[in-house]
Amino acid sequence: MKINMADLKKQHDGIREELDSVIKEVIDSSAFILGSKVTDFENSYSAFTGAKHTIGMASGTGALHAALVALDVSAGDEVITIPFTFAATVEMIYLSGAKPVFVDIEPDTYNPSPTDLERKVSDRTKAIMVVDVFGHPAEWDQILPVAESHDLRIIDDSCEALGAEYRGSPVGRFGDAAAFAFYPNKQITTGEGGAILTDSDRIATLARSLRNQGRGQMGAWVDHERLGYNYRMNEMSAALGLSQLERLDTILEKRERVARLYTERLRDLEWLSAPSVRPHVRMSWFVYVVTLSEGLDRNILMAAMEEQGIPVRGYFEPVHRFPYVRERLGDATIDLPVTDSIASRTMALPFHNGLTEEQIDRVVHSLRRAKDKLS
């Protein structure tokens, strides 16, 4: 019985015929860029989240970059964020010309520490890039007042959090703009794809221009009003996303079921912590990441599980440790004790919609056996 880290075939069971149909429809239409499917996807996404504007993008990475540019983040500015995130969060801050300023994370959710965030605000801070790590919403009740008191812009990196809610409000509705991603490992996939959500007419207009190489809404095709990028979502991707978006509640329920089964079976392991979910949030399960106790060698444990045919993965290597970031930081002291501790002890278990109870039992059994080898 092979267990995959993720299983896209299982994720798309039950909608294959519909996917084939919508792809054929796009091909027959010969409209591949910024056509009706993109518009339909944007309208459906706005209806799901309640956002005034959804702008379909070529990727979540492009969505982050365009959002920064639309908010006038540029050279000389600082953007506060966390290093315990996917590389794109920080890459796009650098690409905008700004400098990332790293804050520590909370020890249970791995999201930005509101206390450390406020300490890191300077007179050069332009924006905060908040990350909803692994699909758990950040603590918005504490972050938003900090931004307001210092007149800072907020971009929500919700790329891992599609369908999550904070105190009953969908993630993506907090701050000036939010970015989502639909890469194959996400809750729904468009192959490659992403979106910007905003209630601002100005940001929406700029984002639509930026994704389309700087073209204006009413200008000729070769009339470019500003420096832009090729961040357009294509019709095929939008069609794929539409088919899954209509079933998002079911998809999220399946992922929540797998997470619940894992948590139940891991409850008696004192040397490991299951993911923490605060009572006022709805978690959107992107991955299932456990945290090992201090002193356990994660690499040995993972190698022992791999020997049993169970794929596992360390999550995340903090961005501030990457060579290109260290080079840019120079001699700057980066004091992030929680991040450094958590990053060396987190481990992602196999996780996807179609994971069976038998497979979950096998993963947990393998985990116990691997730990026994360390004793």
Query: In this predicted model, what pLDDT tens digit does every residue of 215-240 receive, in sequence order?
Result: 987 665 667 889 999 999 999 899 88
Query: In this predicted model, what pLDDT tens digit does every residue of 280-311 receive, in sequence order?
Result: 999 999 999 999 999 999 999 999 999 999 99
Within 8 A by CB and 6+ apart from 224, the residues are 213, 214, 215
| Tally of structural domains, the chain | 2
Judged against a pLDDT cut of 70, whether residue 13 lies above it is answered with no
- 182 and 85 both lie in a single domain: yes
Q: Which of 68, 40, 36, 64 is nearest to 54 (CA)?
A: 40
- 277 and 210 both lie in a single domain: no
Domain contains 167? yes
- The confidence band for 367, taking pLDDT boundaries of 50, 70 and 90, is very high
- The confidence band for 375, taking pLDDT boundaries of 50, 70 and 90, is low
Instruction: Quote the pLDDT of residue 286.
Output: 97
- 184 and 260 both lie in a single domain: no
Of 223, 245, 267, which marks where a domain is finished?
245
How far apart are the C-alpha atoms of 302 and 310, rounded to whole Å? 9
Instruction: Quote the pLDDT of residue 18.
Output: 66
Query: In this predicted model, what pLDDT tens digit does every residue of 62-121 receive, in sequence order?
Result: 999 999 999 999 999 999 999 999 999 999 999 999 999 999 999 999 999 999 999 999
- 224 and 328 both lie in a single domain: no
Query: In this predicted model, what pLDDT tens digit does every residue of 333-364 receive, in sequence order?
Result: 899 999 999 999 999 999 999 899 999 999 99
Judged against a pLDDT cut of 70, whether residue 278 lies above it is answered with yes
Instruction: Quote the pLDDT of residue 9.
Output: 66
Instruction: Quote the pLDDT of residue 159.
Output: 97
Average confidence (pLDDT) over 120-124: 97
- 84 and 203 both lie in a single domain: yes
Q: Find the angle CA(5)-CA(6)-CA(9) to the nearest 5 degrees.
A: 140
- The confidence band for 15, taking pLDDT boundaries of 50, 70 and 90, is low
Alpha helix stretches (DSSP H) within 234-345: 235-245, 248-266, 298-307, 323-329, 337-343
Q: Which of 29, 18, 63, 90 is nearest to 233 (CA)?
A: 63
Instruction: Quote the pLDDT of residue 28.
Output: 72
Of 186, 217, 245, which marks where a domain is finished?
245
Instruction: Quote the pLDDT of residue 219.
Output: 60
Of 245, 266, 292, which marks where a domain is finished?
245
- 18 and 59 both lie in a single domain: yes
Q: Which of 192, 197, 189 is nearest to 244 (CA)?
A: 189
Q: Which of 132, 136, 181 is nearest to 154 (CA)?
A: 132
**Weakest-pLDDT range from 95-104, 122-131, 241-250:** 241-250
Instruction: Quote the pLDDT of residue 59.
Output: 97
- 257 and 226 both lie in a single domain: no
Q: Which residues pair with 130 in a beta bridge?
A: 156
Bigger pLDDT: 16 vs 59: 59
CATH of the domain at 64: 3.40.640.10
- 222 and 253 both lie in a single domain: no
Query: In this predicted model, what pLDDT tens digit does every residue of 164-209 receive, in sequence order?
Result: 999 999 999 999 999 999 998 899 988 899 999 999 999 999 999 9
- What are 140's two structure tokens? 């918005």
Domain contains 3? no
3-state helix, strand, coil in the chain (%, to 5): 40, 15, 40
Judged against a pLDDT cut of 90, whether residue 21 lies above it is answered with no
Q: Range of 286's domain?
A: 248-374
Percent of the chain with pLDDT over 70: 94
- 137 and 263 both lie in a single domain: no
Cβ 231 vs Cβ 58: under 8 Å:
yes
Instruction: Quote the pLDDT of residue 45.
Output: 96
Q: In what order do the strands lie in the sheet with 177-181?
A: 53-57, 194-198, 177-181, 153-157, 125-131, 78-81, 99-102
Q: How many helices (H) and strands (E) does the chain have?
A: 14, 14
- The confidence band for 2, taking pLDDT boundaries of 50, 70 and 90, is confident
**CB atoms closer than 10 angstroms to residue 321:** 14
Backbone angles phi, psi at 203, to 5 degrees: -65, -40
